[in-house]
């Protein structure tokens, strides 16, 4: 495998890192794939919501179970699903910088990862073809605005379901469960999300749950926020920050790219990932939940387990299956 040497301590970084880091500055741009590989299209305008249906009810003042979503329902397609069918392709907001989750494979230029496989499954269920997708690369802090402004139909980008976000967007049931954790160099004195962070410089993505946790308790660290988590990895490799706070699912992929890094301490939050949609697109939420029911079905032979074994099992071993879905109706 081709390697390059980073500026920090002669770190060896794989060719995947080199290719992905070159994309770190990408923000909310259309991500077209090579003809016949990604099935992507360019030049679309915003999603038309003129005929949008009723809004998914906003969260109650006391949010006790944000993971509870709308139950799958059969029957006639609603306005959101019909909009996608009339257009002929799904518009999905994704990441192209997160190894194992959503990244541009340097070997073939194709978007790949756990989240990408899920998007393709949704496209196949709605349109009959897994390649009928336009992918938009969306920075962490632009995920909710992209849905609110109608730029995308869905966001599948390691997005945590929580009480604040369900007031702004609608979520599917959880399709993965992670937790916030600390990523640091192997020779670092940082031991966990605790007072060993005092006096250190810590990086996290703006608009992420990591930022929220550091706002509540920084443990004496100075905090740098950036648009994308990969920007934190680059700064850590260059020695400009001492640690990164992010989901352990993302951090495990980053540690796989750079063997001089490791996860320290234990996860200190619970981060259920969901597919996010516009609050008005209740019928699309139900349809995506129907896709997820099928995606989970089959135990160890399920599509979910096949994707887990392919993308995540090496860095995140021992996960027996997907989260159990929760419904509110």
Q: Would you state the structure tokens that stand for residue 234, as one six-digit string?
A: 């680059």
pLDDT tens string, the chain, 329 residues long: the values are 333 323 333 333 343 344 344 334 333 344 443 333 344 444 445 565 544 444 454 444 578 899 999 999 877 789 999 999 999 999 999 999 888 999 999 899 899 999 999 999 999 999 999 999 999 999 988 999 999 999 999 999 999 999 999 999 999 999 999 999 999 999 999 999 999 999 999 999 998 889 999 999 999 999 999 988 888 999 999 999 999 999 999 888 888 888 899 999 999 999 999 999 999 999 999 999 999 999 999 999 999 999 999 999 988 889 999 999 999 99
Q: What is the pLDDT of residue 62?
A: 77
CATH of domain 79-178+272-313: 3.40.190.10
Question: How many other C-beta atoms lie within 10 A of the C-beta of residue 295?
Answer: 22
Say if CB 263 and CB 183 are below 8 A apart.
Answer: yes
Q: pTM of the predicted model, to two decimals?
A: 0.78
Helix or strand holding residue 80 (H, E): helix 79-87
Which region, left, alpha or beta, applies to residue 2 given φ > 0 means left and ψ of -120 to 50 means alpha? beta
State how beta strands 154-155 and 90-94 pair.
parallel
Residues with Cβ within 8 Å of residue 232, at least 6 apart in sequence? 203, 204, 205, 224, 226, 241, 244, 246
Do the domains 79-178+272-313 and 180-264 sit in the same CATH topology, yes or no?
yes
CATH of domain 180-264: 3.40.190.10
- The CA distance from 139 to 96, in Å, is 9
Domain boundaries, the chain: 79-178+272-313, 180-264
- The CA distance from 110 to 199, in Å, is 41
């Amino acid at each position: 495998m081709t390697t390059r040497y980073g500026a920090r301590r002669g770190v060896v970084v794989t060719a995947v890192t080199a290719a992905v880091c070159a994309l770190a500055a990408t923000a909310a741009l259309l991500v077209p794939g090579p003809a016949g590989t990604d099935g992507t299209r360019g030049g679309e305008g915003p999603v038309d919501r003129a005929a949008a249906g009723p809004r998914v009810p906003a969260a109650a003042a006391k949010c006790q179970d944000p993971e509870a979503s709308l139950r799958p329902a059969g029957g006639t397609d609603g306005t959101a699903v019909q909009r996608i069918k009339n257009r002929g392709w799904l518009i999905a907001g994704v990441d192209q910088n997160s190894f194992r989750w959503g990244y541009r494979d340097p070997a073939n230029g194709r978007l790949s990862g756990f989240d990408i496989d899920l998007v393709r499954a949704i496209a196949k269920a709605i349109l009959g073809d897994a390649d009928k997708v336009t992918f938009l690369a969306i920075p962490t802090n632009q995920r909710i605005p992209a849905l609110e402004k109608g730029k995308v139909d869905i966001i599948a980008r390691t997005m945590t379901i929580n009480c604040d976000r369900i007031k702004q967007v609608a979520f599917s049931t959880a399709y993965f469960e992670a937790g916030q954790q600390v990523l640091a160099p192997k020779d670092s004195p940082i031991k966990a999300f605790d007072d060993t962070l005092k006096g250190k410089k810590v990086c996290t993505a703006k608009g992420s749950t990591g930022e929220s946790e550091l706002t509540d308790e920084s443990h004496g660290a100075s905090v740098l926020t950036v648009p994308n988590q990969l920007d934190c990895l680059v700064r850590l490799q260059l020695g400009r920050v001492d640690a990164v706070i992010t989901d352990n699912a993302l951090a495990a992929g980053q540690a796989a790219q750079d063997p001089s890094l490791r996860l320290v301490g234990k996860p200190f939050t619970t981060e259920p990932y969901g597919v996010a949609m516009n609050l008005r697109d209740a019928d699309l939420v139900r349809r995506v939940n129907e896709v997820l029911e099928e995606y989970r079905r089959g135990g160890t032979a399920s599509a979910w387990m096949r994707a887990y074994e392919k993308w995540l099992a090496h860095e995140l071993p021992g996960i027996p299956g997907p989260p159990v879905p929760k419904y509110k109706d």
